[in-house]
C-alpha cells in the first residue's frame, strides 16, 4: 500500500465529515452575511479559551519533534506555529475588547471542555509524534479551509469579520498548513500500521470536535 499521501487518502475517505467541519452552518452564515453577531461573540470567547489550551498542546508536539523526529526542520515549522499563537492570544484580547466580550468572564462550554480534554490526552508522552502531528495539522487545516471559504469571490462576509477570516484564511497560514501536512505525510508514510490506525482515529476525533465546537455558536439541535 502506498502510504506517502496518507492525508490525501484520508481526506477522500472521510470527505463528508471533513466538509462537515469546514463548511459548517456557522461558517456558511459568515460567508453569506447572515451571521448572528451574538453567535460570533460566543465563538470569540470560547476560541480564546481553546487557544490557551492549544498552545501547550503545540508545545508538547515540539517536545515530541525534538525527541522523535527524523528531520530537524520540523522543529522550525512547529516553533513558527507557537510564535503565531503568541500573536493570536494578543489578537483575541484586542478583538474581544472591540466586541465588548469580557474574556475573564467567559465560561468554557461543554464542547470546548471536551475538546481541551482531548488535546490534553494527546499531550501524553505515550502518544506518538506521528499521531500528535496528524492532529495538529487537522486542527489548523479546518480553520484554514473554513475561513478561506469566507474570503472567496462572491462571499458576503460582513466587513467587521473579514480581519478574523484573514487570520486563518490568508495564504501564509495556508502555506503553514501545507508544511504541517507535509510533515504528517512524511511520518505517516513510514509508520507501522497500528500507529497509522491510531492517527486515523485521532484525525476523525479532531473533525468531530471541530463540528461540536462550531455547534456551540450555531446551535444544532
Residue of 105, 96, 89, 21 lying closest to 55 (CA atoms): 89
Rg (CA), the chain: 17
Q: Active site residue: 88, 128, 200, 210, which one?
A: 210
CA distance 169 to 182: 19
Interacting residues toward ligand HMH by CB under 6 A: 47, 50-51, 54, 139-140, 142-143, 210, 213
CA distance 94 to 53: 19
Q: Looking at the chain, how many residues does it have?
A: 221
- The CB-of-4 to ligand HMH minimum distance in angstroms stands at 26
- Pick 146 or 191: Cβ nearer ligand HMH: 146
- Pick 22 or 191: Cβ nearer ligand HMH: 22
- The CB-of-187 to ligand HMH minimum distance in angstroms stands at 20
Active-site residue 210, yes or no?
yes
- The CB-of-125 to ligand HMH minimum distance in angstroms stands at 23
- The CB-of-193 to ligand HMH minimum distance in angstroms stands at 28
- Pick 47 or 191: Cβ nearer ligand HMH: 47
The per-type count for the chain, helices as H runs and strands as E runs, is 10, 0
Q: Is the dihedral of CA 214, 21, 134, 14 positive or negative?
A: positive
DSSP of 113-169? HHHHHHHHHHTSTTS-HHHHHHHHHHHHHHHHHHHHHTTSTT----HHHHHHHHHHH
In the bound state, the residue with its beta carbon closest to ligand HMH is 143
- Pick 47 or 74: Cβ nearer ligand HMH: 47
Residues designated catalytic = 210
Amino acid at each position: 500500500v502506498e502510504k506517502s499521501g496518507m492525508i490525501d487518502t484520508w481526506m477522500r475517505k472521510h470527505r463528508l465529515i471533513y466538509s462537515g467541519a469546514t463548511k459548517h452552518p456557522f461558517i456558511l452564515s459568515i460567508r453569506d452575511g447572515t451571521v448572528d453577531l451574538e453567535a460570533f461573540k460566543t465563538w470569540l470567547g470560547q476560541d480564546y479559551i481553546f487557544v490557551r489550551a492549544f498552545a501547550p498542546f503545540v508545545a508538547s508536539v515540539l517536545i515530541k519533534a525534538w525527541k522523535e523526529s527524523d528531520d530537524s526542520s520540523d522543529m522550525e515549522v512547529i516553533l513558527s506555529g507557537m510564535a503565531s499563537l503568541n500573536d493570536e492570544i494578543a489578537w483575541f484580547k484586542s478583538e474581544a475588547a472591540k466586541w465588548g466580550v469580557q474574556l475573564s468572564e467567559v465560561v468554557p462550554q461543554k464542547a470546548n471542555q471536551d475538546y481541551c480534554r482531548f488535546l490534553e490526552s494527546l499531550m501524553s508522552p505515550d502518544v506518538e509524534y506521528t499521531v500528535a502531528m496528524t492532529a495538529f495539522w487537522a486542527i489548523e487545516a479546518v480553520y484554514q479551509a473554513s475561513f478561506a471559504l469566507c474570503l472567496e469571490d462572491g462571499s458576503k462576509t460582513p466587513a467587521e469579520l473579514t480581519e478574523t477570516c484573514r487570520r486563518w484564511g490568508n495564504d501564509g497560514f495556508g502555506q503553514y498548513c501545507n508544511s504541517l501536512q507535509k510533515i504528517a505525510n512524511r511520518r505517516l508514510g513510514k509508520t507501522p500500521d497500528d500507529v497509522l490506525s491510531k492517527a486515523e482515529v485521532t484525525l476523525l476525533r479532531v473533525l468531530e470536535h471541530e463540528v461540536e465546537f462550531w455547534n456551540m455558536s450555531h446551535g444544532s439541535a
